[in-house]
Structures are given as C-alpha cells and as structure tokens.
C-alpha cells in the first residue's frame, strides 16, 4: 500500500510535467475564455495530450486511462482555461465514432479534438429530465423523396449550447411504439436554420445551461447515428462513454469552513462552538473519504481494471454536503449572512453564491435519487424500478399536462 507511481507511471508523469512546464499558462487568461480554451486545446492536441486514451489514428496516443488521470492531475497545477470540450470529446465523439460513416468521422473528429469545433449533448427535455427516454422532440422523415428528416421540439439544460457548433440529438420517430423503441439519434448543426439557443437564467444569476428550440430543422438521413428507432441503444453508448470520471474535489470544504470559524465570532469565537466543530470534523471525514475512494479508483485503473458505477458515491453525497456547508456558513455570519456582495461578504461571497448554486448540484448530471437507484441496481443488485410505461405506446402514456 503506497501512493507512489509505478515506474512507467512515474515516467509518464515526468513526460507530462515537462511538456506542461514548457507549454501550459502560468497565469489565467484575461478576456475571451472560450478563445483561450480553444487555443489551449489546440496545443494539447498537437502534442497528442488532448485525448490520451484514444487511438493514434484519431489523434490520441493509444494511452491508458491512468495516463489520462496523471495528465489531468498535473494539468490542474496550472492556470489552464476551463475545459469546455469534456462533453464533446467524452460523450459525443465516441458516439459519432461508433455510429457514423467514415466520411463523417473524418470530417468531425479532427476539429473536435483540436478544439476548433465544440459539441453539445441534446438529451434532456422539459418533459423528461431524469426520464431521458421520454423525449418528445419529433423527427419525421420528409415525403419529398430526399430522405431528409424534419425536426420539431425543445431540449433543455443543454450545457454549452450557446457556444457549440454541433450537437447529438435524441428524437422521437415512432410515437406508436413503447417509449424506448421509438427513438432515433442524429447529429445536428447548431448554427443551422431553425435552431434557436436561449440561455437559462439560473436562480444563482448565472447561465451555464440553455434551452434549445428546433423549428422545422431539416437534417440529412446520413446525419442519423445508428438505425431508425434504435436511438435508446445509441444513447446508452453515449452515456457509457461518459468521460472516465474519477471525480474532482469540491470547491469549498472543511478548510474554508474552519477558516471562516476562526475569523468570526458568534458571541464567542465561532471556532469554539462545539456543534460547529463536530460538523467540521464530519465534513472533513466525508471529504477525505471521497479523496481516498478516488485513490482506490485510480488504483483500479492503474491495474488496468475498469472502475464500476461505484464512483457515483461522490456525486450522491457532495451536493448535499456543499449545500449544508453553505447554509452553516451564512448562519454563522448571523444577520450579516444575508449580505451577498463580493466587496463585503467573506471570501468574495463564495458561501452566499454556493447557497444559490448547490440546489442544482443535487440535480444536474443525474439527481441524487436517480444515482441512488443506479447504485442500488448496478452495485447492490436490487430489482429495477417497477415501470408502468414499458409496453404502452408512447403516445398513449399519461403526461399530466
């Protein structure tokens, strides 16, 4: 039991460090973040560090997942721009590479890995967040003999749609079939006619996600990914290819809470408050538990094993913990906790910001409840949910409104 790299991992780390030291930015870019992200991606792709585990012919290194983890760890020591390519390269491209024809792959993979074109994933809809297979966006094949499909409907919670060039899209092609059997997947041009992107104004004031409207959008039949009405199977490939995530660490944790408690008084210095001290200990233990769970996952990767869905453990607890910490922090400030002003609030208002952001953490990327179902079913082997909608034609399913 140790935390050391194997000799070959150490050699890879040294190689990554050397390259990063020569090329990675030491100071965060000011101004156009997207342009900075694209420029950094182009550099990484040229050195084949963009998608390390991909085959060489598609711009990778034929590397291993552990090498990607090592590079990511090292890269996090530099002031690199935020990675806006994770969904495109982690989920969309593997789907394109599995289901598209050669010409399509040749057209898209290169620009995607170099960061020249950004992709988004158009799955969630107003009527189906957790229930992705309930997609209502309609694709109808035109009867003009072109074989083209006409798409109408709405997607929602699409990360990065406002700066994406292309997307992969789940549509309903046969409403007469049960819901999982009438879906078809396409790739679409986000700049094409009939596509409207509208940012979602989150309760936190930020806009990281979008609504995307499709109005008579015409796509070629060769933009179809996989067979007609087989879109559910295709989307499972997308979701399975979710970028091998060993999980990051939360932005705010026990350390910030301890610092806050040392700085402020609540009658007496807040750090003397027994109840708060106990909670800080509990937050520390959870955070450390997750850090070492990650170390166990990395160990499995290092041995060439594939980590299972147990890596969802972090997602199940961290949203709630961040929300609890944010609430504890603003309560600690007492009446002043309500003040949300970067100039006046401690840590530039990070805790106040977190009170407003954390509700979404427990929902985005799979709600706590859906993740618990996944863990119960795939890790513990419990029965799947009883489904009322399995054998009923999609069009006959109750919708509420």
* Alpha carbon distance 258, 239 (integer Å): 38
Q: Cβ of residue 100: shortest distance to other proteins, in angstroms?
A: 36
Nearest to 151 by CA among 231, 89, 238: 231
Report the site for other proteins in 7-46 (rule: CB under 8 A).
9
Interface segment toward other proteins; rule CB under 8 A; list 4-12, 139-147, 152-160, 213-221? 4-12
Under rule CB under 8 A, residue 260 binds other proteins: no
Do the beta carbons of residue 355 and residue 326 sit within 8 Å?
yes
Residue closer to other proteins by CB (options 133, 371) is 371
H or E element at residue 300: helix 274-302
Decide if 186 contacts 169 (C-beta within 8 A).
yes
Kindly tell me the burial class for residue 264, based on how many C-beta atoms sit within 10 Å of its own C-beta (0-12, 13-18, 19 or more): middle
- Interface stretch with other proteins, choices 153-161, 173-181, 237-245, 258-266 (CB under 8 A): 258-266
Contact 120, 160 (CB under 8 A): yes
Nearer to other proteins, 381 or 398 (CB): 381
Q: Nearest distance from residue 299's CB to other proteins, in Å?
A: 5
Binding mask 347-376 for other proteins (x = CB under 8 A): ----------------------x--xx-xx
> Which residues inside 262-291 make contact with other proteins, applying CB under 8 A?
262, 271, 274, 277-278, 280-282, 284-286, 288-291
Distance between CA 302 and CA 297 in Å, rounded? 9
310 binds other proteins (CB under 8 A): yes
> Locate tokens 């109808």: which residue?
140
Nearest CB to other proteins, comparing residues 249 and 344: 249
Q: Let me know: does 364 contact 315? Beta carbons within 8 Å.
A: no
Judged by beta carbon, residue 221 or residue 259, the one nearer other proteins is: 259
> In the set 57, 386, 399, 401, which binds other proteins (CB under 8 A)?
386
Nearest Cα to 220, choosing from 150, 169, 153? 150
**What is the nearest approach in angstroms of other proteins to the Cβ of residue 213?**
34
Stretch that binds other proteins, among 77-85, 87-95, 292-300, 336-344 (CB under 8 A): 292-300
Extended beta strands in 146-229, E state: 149-159, 166-172, 183-189, 195-199, 209-219, 224-225
User: Is 131 one of the binding residues for other proteins (CB under 8 A)?
Assistant: no
Neighbours of 279 (CB within 10 A): 17
Q: Considering the complex, state which of residue 31 and residue 383 has its C-beta at the smaller distance from other proteins.
A: 383
Sign of the alpha-carbon torsion through 188, 192, 194, 197: positive
Residue 258: count of CB within 10 angstroms of its CB? 18
Contact between 292 and other proteins per CB under 8 A:
yes
Nearer to other proteins, 137 or 312 (CB): 312
Best CA proximity match to 247, nearest among 311, 309, 323: 311
Q: Which residue from 32, 189, 221, 259 is in contact with other proteins, where contact means CB under 8 A? A: 259
CB of 275 to other proteins, least distance (A): 11
User: Which residues inside 227-256 make contact with other proteins, applying CB under 8 A?
Assistant: 254-255
Minimal distance, residue 247 CB to other proteins, in Å: 12
CA dihedral (269, 272, 274, 279) in degrees, to 10, reads 70
The rounded radius of gyration (Å) of the Cα atoms in the chain is: 23
What are the tokens at 346? 């401690």
- Nearest Cα to Cα of residue 121 among 185, 194, 179: 185
Q: From the list 139, 168, 316, 329, which residue makes contact with other proteins (rule: CB under 8 A)? A: 316
Among residues 304, 381, 398, 400, the one that binds other proteins under rule CB under 8 A: 381
Contact 146, 177 (CB under 8 A): no
d(CA 125, CA 164): 18
Determine if 116 is a binding residue for other proteins (CB under 8 A).
no
Nearer to other proteins, 294 or 353 (CB): 294
Q: Count the residues of the shown chain that bind other proteins, applying the rule CB under 8 A.
A: 51
- Least Å from the CB of residue 394 to other proteins: 24
Summarize as ranges the residues that interact with other proteins (CB under 8 A): 1-6, 9, 254-255, 258-259, 262, 271, 274, 277-278, 280-282, 284-286, 288-293, 295-296, 298-299, 302, 310, 313, 316-317, 369, 372-373, 375-377, 379-386
């Amino acid at each position: 039991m140790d935390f050391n790299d194997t000799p070959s991992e150490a050699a890879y780390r040294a190689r990554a460090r050397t390259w990063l030291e020569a090329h990675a930015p030491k100071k965060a870019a000011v101004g156009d973040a997207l342009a900075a992200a694209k420029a950094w991606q182009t550099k990484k792709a040229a050195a084949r560090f963009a998608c390390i585990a991909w085959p060489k012919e598609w711009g990778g290194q034929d590397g291993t997942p552990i090498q990607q983890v090592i590079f990511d760890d090292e890269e996090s020591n530099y002031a690199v721009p935020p990675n806006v390519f994770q969904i495109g390269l982690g989920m969309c491209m593997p789907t394109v590479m599995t289901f598209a024809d050669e010409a399509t792959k040749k057209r898209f993979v290169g620009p995607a890995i170099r960061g020249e074109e950004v992709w988004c994933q158009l799955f969630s809809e107003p009527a189906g967040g957790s229930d992705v297979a309930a997609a209502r966006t309609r694709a109808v094949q035109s009867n003009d003999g072109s074989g083209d499909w006409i798409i109408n409907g709405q997607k929602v919670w699409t990360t990065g749609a406002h700066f994406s060039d292309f997307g992969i899209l789940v549509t309903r092609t046969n409403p007469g079939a049960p819901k999982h059997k009438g879906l078809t997947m396409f790739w679409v041009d986000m700049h094409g006619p009939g596509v409207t992107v509208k940012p979602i104004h989150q309760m936190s004031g930020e806009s990281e996600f979008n609504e995307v409207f499709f109005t008579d959008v015409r796509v070629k039949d060769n933009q179809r990914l996989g067979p007609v009405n087989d879109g559910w199977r295709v989307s499972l490939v997308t979701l399975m290819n979710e970028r091998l995530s060993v999980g990051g660490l939360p932005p705010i944790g026990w350390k910030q809470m301890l610092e806050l408690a040392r700085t402020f008084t609540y009658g007496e210095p807040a750090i003397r408050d027994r109840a708060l001290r106990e909670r800080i200990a509990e937050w520390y233990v959870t955070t450390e538990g997750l850090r070492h769970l990650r170390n166990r996952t990395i160990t499995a990767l290092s041995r060439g094993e594939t980590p299972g869905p147990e890596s969802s453990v972090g997602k199940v607890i961290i949203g709630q913990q961040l929300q609890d910490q944010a609430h504890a922090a603003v309560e600690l400030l007492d009446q002043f906790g309500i003040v949300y002003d970067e100039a006046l609030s401690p840590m530039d208002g990070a805790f106040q910001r977190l009170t407003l952001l954390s509700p979404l953490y427990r929902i985005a990327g799979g709600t706590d409840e859906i993740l618990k179902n996944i863990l119960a079913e795939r890790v513990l082997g419990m029965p799947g949910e009883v489904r009322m909608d399995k054998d009923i034609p999609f069009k006959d399913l109750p919708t509420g409104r």
